[in-house]
Amino acid sequence: MSGFLDSIRCSECIDWGEKRNTIASVAAGVLFFTGWWIIIDAAVIYPSQAQLNHSYHACGVIATVAFLM
């Protein structure tokens, strides 16, 4: 499963093989940051418990603990 994109040729002049881990790490970090940005933005726009249930932050907290582990 780790090499299911190896047969796809997007660009033959660029060798992504050695940079695949770096690109995956940067993409994961960007997605992680974007998730926290969205949930913090939603908490600022809807500060009361009636508008936004604050238990939705549990997903981000669990993801952060998993990220740090």
Q: What integer pLDDT is reported at residue 10 of this predicted model?
A: 64
Nearest alpha-carbon partner for 5 in 13, 14, 17: 17
User: What is the pTM (predicted TM-score) of this model?
Assistant: 0.63
The total of other beta-carbon atoms located within 10 Å of residue 36's CB is 13
Give the rounded percent of residues in the chain with a pLDDT score beyond 90: 16
Give the pLDDT confidence of 25-56 residue by residue, as tens digits. 999 899 989 988 998 898 899 888 888 888 88
Q: What integer pLDDT is reported at residue 55 of this predicted model?
A: 84
